[in-house]
Amino acid sequence: MPDGTPDIQSMKDERRIPIKKVGVKGLRYPITLLDKANSLQHAAAIVNLYADLPHEFKGTHMSRFIEVFNAHRSDLSMPRFLAMLGEVRRALKAETAYADVHFTYFIEKTAPISGQKSIMSYDCTYEGWVSKANREFLVSVAVPVQTVCPCSKAISRHGAHNQRGVVKATVQLGPFFWIEDLITVIEQSASCDVHTLLKREDEKYVTERAFENPRFVEDVVREVYSKLLTLGNFPRFSVEAENFESIHNHSAYALVEYPGNPPAPQ
């Protein structure tokens, strides 16, 4: 108590119950990320920061989570994320520190025929934990895509049903990679990518391209899986696709994981 005020959080707790995660949730904060085209990108993030609490302490020091995160917000690149978590762990004198950071990433896209430029948004998440002996960092990107049903195309005299879907890839960080490259892998694995701005000539192009490239959700996740094996040396990853079906009142869904799908629940 250097200033004479009591440190209630550090007082002894007699119930002897350790807490796995305690911290701050739903923190809204500006962050800066690496951007492949423009060096840096500023984003508004929703942040959850936690640490474990040994059974002997009454509470954690919430302000220290914010102090550490604020010091790192101007460089929250992938290489710095685990360093930030290490500082949270040391500041809280915890065994393990955890964080998940949710943000929207923006990329300028060019329409395929007219060349018109617009901005596309992608929902991304950084998630990880650091202990004395281990650390893990996962990056997730959700990408909107278009798919055309191969079965519908094969059995219909006129056209085929198509829909918008979302493909989410979650990779465990090995070597550094760009978010943009992960998005490109996903967009190239669908019937066609989607755009914020399309002129009539662009609409014709993407409609015909999708029709000529029909994909089930099974096709999409397998295509992304194959491409991720060559994109980077990821220790593990998962790919899930959800199609918001245009002729059904439900979605079509598929999930693959590397290395290998786990056994089905009993």
CA distance 47 to 27: 5
Alpha helices in 93-120 (DSSP H): none
Same domain, 29 and 112: yes
pLDDT tens digit sequence for 22-80: 999 999 999 999 999 999 999 999 999 999 988 777 768 899 999 999 999 999 887 78
Domain holding 94, by residue range, is 17-133
Residue 228, in any domain of the structure: yes
Q: What pLDDT is stored for residue 11 in this prediction?
A: 56
Spatial CA neighbour of 216 closest among 170, 171, 256, 265: 256
Residue 8, in any domain of the structure: no
Partnered with residue 125 across adjacent β-strands are 102, 140
Same domain, 265 and 151: yes
Residue 257 pLDDT greater than 90, yes or no: yes
Residue 138, in any domain of the structure: no
pLDDT tens digit sequence for 135-192: 999 999 999 999 999 999 999 999 999 999 999 999 999 888 999 999 999 999 999 9
CA distance 172 to 228: 12
Same domain, 24 and 76: yes
Residue 216 pLDDT greater than 60, yes or no: yes
pTM for this entry = 0.90
Same domain, 92 and 42: yes
Q: What pLDDT is stored for residue 266 in this prediction?
A: 45
DSSP code at position 64 = H
Same domain, 200 and 128: no
Same domain, 128 and 222: no
Q: What pLDDT is stored for residue 3 in this prediction?
A: 63
Q: Beta strands of 36-191 (E only): which ranges?
A: 39-53, 96-110, 117-131, 135-148, 162-172
- The region of weakest confidence among 12-21, 110-119, 200-209 is 12-21
- Distances 162 to 167, 187, 206, 215, 254 between C-alpha atoms, Å: 15, 16, 12, 10, 17
Residue 2 pLDDT greater than 70, yes or no: no
Same domain, 156 and 266: yes
Q: What pLDDT is stored for residue 58 in this prediction?
A: 75
CATH code, domain carrying 78: 3.10.270.10
Q: What pLDDT is stored for residue 114 in this prediction?
A: 98
Q: What pLDDT is stored for residue 9 in this prediction?
A: 60
Q: What pLDDT is stored for residue 54 in this prediction?
A: 81
DSSP code at position 263 = P
pLDDT tens digit sequence for 95-132: 999 999 999 999 999 999 999 999 999 999 999 999 99
